[in-house]
């Protein structure tokens, strides 16, 4: 397929590389002038999108997505697919999809989970909202870039699934870290804590797969000095998106709100910026009740 990739950052670059590796004809544009082997560089987003069957965007936030969409939609061929894989607010996803549909395009919001490792290995999970025909058309691309694509319903529902998942993740990571810090103070070894909880009702992905305690459980960012992985900054971004959505939908999300606040303090006031989101464990370790 003829594909344009707009946004060749930490995620977009390896996703584009996998599309090239699968034999697709890929044109790319990034505002920072990033170029990539095998990807034809375009002078603008609109130029990249011209003539593409699928335009894949992988951008930092909803405001940037709206700007890029306003540029690329008029350049796209009716019937082509606008496939946004960024994590953005549900409102921006729905607004961009409505504009794309009005121009005769098929629109999908398809945020991912799996991080940079998953993007490089081609093992991302895509949560997809929007056009069913667009989903069917994009399936071969999801298969190259990921291991799973779940169709979640109308436009915005992919973003809804993503922020609900990450709200659970933020809350369970904090719960796992504060429980480890309590266990330390009660004299329980981290290995014993892991062995019990990972096979008991307190188990979760945060404990079993991404254990925040170094030297315990499968290899995780904790074993590499909390180099991300998934940064606390990105977790804060996603928790803020879930709180913004909860506000608009009048949903009561007290644990999500508390998690957003703890990650805000960690990132903005406690040098958590750029550290893995599981570095909440050393944060709790250093603290007492007051
Ligand atoms: P990034 O900052 O590395 O990449 C974004 C790229 O977009 C940058 O290269 C930037 O130059 C480019 N860009 C910005 N404005 C542009 C414009 N107007 N036109 C063209 N290019 C523009 O970010 P990332 O880590 O690749 O994340 C991309 C998206 O994926 C975000 O929405 C993020 O929340 C989401 N995400 C990231 C991860 C992760 O682990 N990094 C995991 C899941 C989801």
User: Mind listing the pLDDT tens digit for each residue in 161-212?
Assistant: 999 999 999 999 999 999 999 999 999 999 999 999 999 999 999 999 999 9
> Ligand 1 centre and the CA of 152: distance in Å?
23
User: What average pLDDT score do residues 72-83 get?
Assistant: 98
pLDDT for position 181: 98
Does pLDDT of 94 surpass 90?
Answer: yes
pLDDT for position 229: 87
Q: For the chain, first and last CA: distance in Å?
A: 59
Pocket test for ligand 1, best of 59, 69, 111, 127 (most atoms within 8 A of CB): 59
Average predicted confidence (pLDDT) for the chain: 97
What's the token pair of residue 144? 């190259």
Does pLDDT of 88 surpass 90?
Answer: yes
Residues 205-251: tens digit of each pLDDT: 999 999 999 999 999 999 999 999 899 999 999 999 999 999 999 99
| 148 is known as an active-site residue | no
What's the token pair of residue 198? 């990972």
Pocket test for ligand 1, best of 4, 12, 110, 241 (most atoms within 8 A of CB): 12
pLDDT for position 235: 97
Does pLDDT of 42 surpass 90?
Answer: yes
User: Confidence band (pLDDT; 50, 70, 90) for 115?
Assistant: confident
Does pLDDT of 36 surpass 90?
Answer: yes
- Label residue 275 exposed, middle or buried (CB < 10 Å: 0-12, 13-18, 19+): buried
CA–CA distance, 75 with 148 (Å, rounded to integer): 30
Task: Please name the residue whose Cα sits nearest to atom 29 of ligand 1.
Answer: 86
Does pLDDT of 31 surpass 90?
Answer: yes
pLDDT for position 215: 98
Q: Please state whether beta strands 106-109 and 124-130 pair in parallel, antiparallel, or not at all (unpaired).
A: antiparallel
pLDDT for position 272: 97
Q: Are 126 and 110 in contact (CB under 8 A)?
A: yes
> Ligand 1 centre and the CA of 7: distance in Å?
6
Ligand 1 atom at shortest distance from the alpha carbon of 115: 40
> Between the CA atoms of 24, 30, 34 and 37, what dihedral angle is there, to the nearest 10 degrees?
10
What secondary structure does DSSP assign to 118-185, as a single string? HHHHT-EEEEEEE-HHHHHHHHHHHHHHEEEEEEEESTTHHHHHHHHHHHHHHHHHHHHHHHHHHHHH
User: What average pLDDT score do residues 79-102 get?
Assistant: 98
pLDDT for position 111: 98
Residues 252-290: tens digit of each pLDDT: 999 999 999 999 999 999 999 999 999 999 999 999 998
User: Confidence band (pLDDT; 50, 70, 90) for 50?
Assistant: very high
How many CA atoms are closer than 13 Å to the CA of 266, on its beta-carbon side? 29
SS3 81: strand
């Amino acid at each position: 397929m003829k594909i344009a990739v707009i946004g060749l950052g930490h995620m977009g670059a390896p996703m584009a590389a996998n599309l090239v590796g699968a034999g697709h004809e890929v044109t790319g544009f990034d505002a920072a002038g990033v170029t990539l082997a095998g990807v034809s560089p375009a002078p603008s987003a609109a130029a990249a999108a011209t003539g593409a069957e699928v335009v894949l965007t992988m951008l930092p936030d909803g405001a940037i997505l709206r700007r890029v969409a306003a540029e690329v939609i008029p350049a796209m061929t009716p019937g082509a697919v606008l496939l946004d894989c960024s994590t953005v607010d549900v409102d921006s996803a729905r607004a961009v999809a409505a504009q794309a549909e009005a121009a005769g395009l098929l629109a999908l919001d398809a945020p991912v989970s799996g991080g940079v490792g998953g993007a490089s290995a081609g093992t991302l999970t895509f949560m997809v909202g929007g056009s069913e025909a667009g989903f069917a058309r994009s399936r071969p691309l999801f298969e190259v870039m990921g291991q799973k694509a779940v169709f979640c319903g109308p436009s915005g529902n992919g973003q809804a699934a993503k922020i609900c998942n990450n709200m659970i993740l933020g809350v369970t990571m904090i719960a796992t870290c504060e429980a480890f810090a309590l266990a330390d103070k009660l004299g329980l070894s981290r290995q014993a804590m892991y062995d019990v909880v990972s096979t008991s009702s307190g188990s979760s992905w945060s404990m079993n797969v991404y254990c925040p305690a170094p030297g315990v459980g499968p290899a995780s960012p904790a074993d590499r000095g909390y180099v991300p992985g998934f940064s606390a900054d990105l977790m804060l971004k996603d928790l803020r998106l879930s709180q913004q959505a909860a506000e608009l939908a009048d949903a009561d999300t007290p644990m999500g709100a508390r998690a957003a606040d703890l990650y805000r303090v960690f990132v903005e006031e406690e040098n958590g910026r750029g550290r893995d989101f599981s570095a909440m464990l050393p944060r709790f370790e250093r603290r007492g009740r007051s």
